[in-house]
Amino acid sequence: MANFTRSSVDITYSVWKALMLREAVSRLSSGRAAWLWLLLEPLVHVIFLLFIFSVIRMRSVGGIDTTAWLMVGLLAFLMFKRTGTQTQNAIGSNHGLFTYRQVKPIDTVLVRASLEGFLTILVAIILFVGVSLFGIVAIPQDPLLVLEAFFGLWLLGLGFGLIASVVSELIPELGKIITFAMTPLYFASGVLIPVAAIPQPYRDWLMLNPIVHGLDAARLGFATYYHAVPGLSIAYLYGFAITTIFLGMALHARYATRLVTQ
């Protein structure tokens, strides 16, 4: 008995490792060429938006090239969105695993978020390298700021996912509403419209959305001459993210047994 007791850290670590491999397999091999869609989705999205922007003859936004502006914004938004939506379903799609008492609901959420963050970074790198082959400047001037912004958005996605996963397990109806909310959030995050160009007082309202800060910080990191929105604060993004993560973890701690037994 005694010679075989593992410490809690050991157990959690091996659970994370096992879950990570399992999630990666099902994420990348479910359906036909699942990995291809990971790449194609943002690519097609950017090409479509680029087409519209070229129709209205916008060559640059806030001082930087439209393609770069769009791509950075979209990928930064995807960092939040994919992490958030994937983790929202983490508990539901791993219910069978709670048979093993080593696996806790929060493990599935954390692992999914990490996997999704990793995949999005990979996709972003591939796309940026691909685009720079076409002569568009896609090497960030301030890489640290870009990383900071992406990491903040990932944290925000994680916090969102932690809360949404509990909510959509306990109150499925509310889970659906959260899913709906993603589309308006897309429009209110400055992926399509430069928030700096929006008149007051509406801009201040939009600035309440932490994703706006993350997106513009990422763009600013790519080109330091970018006219970022006034009042940009990466600290606001991080504060918001950490608060949601704290809330989400509190929910997970509070409802740990409810989530497993339902």
- Of positions 32, 57, 59, 101, contacts other proteins by CB under 8 A: 101
Q: What is the DSSP letter of 229?
A: P
Among 97, 156, 163, 232, binds other proteins (CB under 8 A): 97
Stretch of 13-21, 53-61, 65-73, 227-235 contacting other proteins, by CB under 8 A = 13-21
Residue whose C-alpha is closest to residue 84's, from 167, 179, 18, 170: 179
The total number of residues written for the chain in this structure: 262
Q: Give the integer Cα–Cα distance in Å for 67 and 48.
A: 11
Query: Which position among 28, 192, 242, 260 is part of the footprint of other proteins (CB under 8 A)?
Result: 260
Query: Distance from CA of residue 211 to its chain's centroid?
Result: 10
* Selected binder of other proteins within 6, 37, 48, 118 (CB under 8 A): 6
Q: How far is the CB of 223 from other proteins (least distance, A)?
A: 43
Maximum Cα–Cα distance for the chain, whole Å? 73
Q: Please give the residues from 20 up to 79 whose contact with other proteins meets the rule CB under 8 A.
A: 21-22, 25-26, 30
| Position 233 contacts other proteins (CB under 8 A) | no
Least gap, CB of 159 to other proteins (angstroms): 26
The nearest distance, CB 14 to other proteins, in angstroms, is 5
Q: Which among 12-20, 133-141, 150-158, 160-168 is the span making contact with other proteins, rule CB under 8 A?
A: 12-20
Rounded to whole angstroms, the Cα distance separating 37 from 29 reads 11
Tokens coding 177: 């509403």
17 binds other proteins (CB under 8 A): yes
- Rule CB under 8 A: say whether 257 interacts with other proteins: yes
Helices (H) and strands (E) in the chain, counts: 11, 2
Give residues 113-172 in contact with other proteins (rule: CB under 8 A).
Answer: none
Q: Which range touches other proteins (CB under 8 A), out of 42-50, 99-107, 153-161, 194-202? A: 99-107
Q: State which of residues 99, 134, 144, 199 lies at the interface with other proteins (CB under 8 A).
A: 99
Q: Which of 195, 71, 185, 210 lies closest to 136 in space, CA to CA?
A: 71
Q: How many CB atoms lie within 10 A of CB 102?
A: 14
Stretch of 48-56, 97-105, 112-120, 146-154 lying at the interface with other proteins (CB under 8 A): 97-105
Burial (CB < 10 A; 0-12, 13-18, 19+), residue 126, is middle
Separation between Cα atoms, residue 196 and residue 73, nearest integer Å: 14
3 state DSSP class of 199: coil
Binding stretches for other proteins (CB under 8 A): 1, 4, 6, 10-11, 14-15, 17-19, 21-22, 25-26, 30, 94, 96-103, 257-258, 260-262
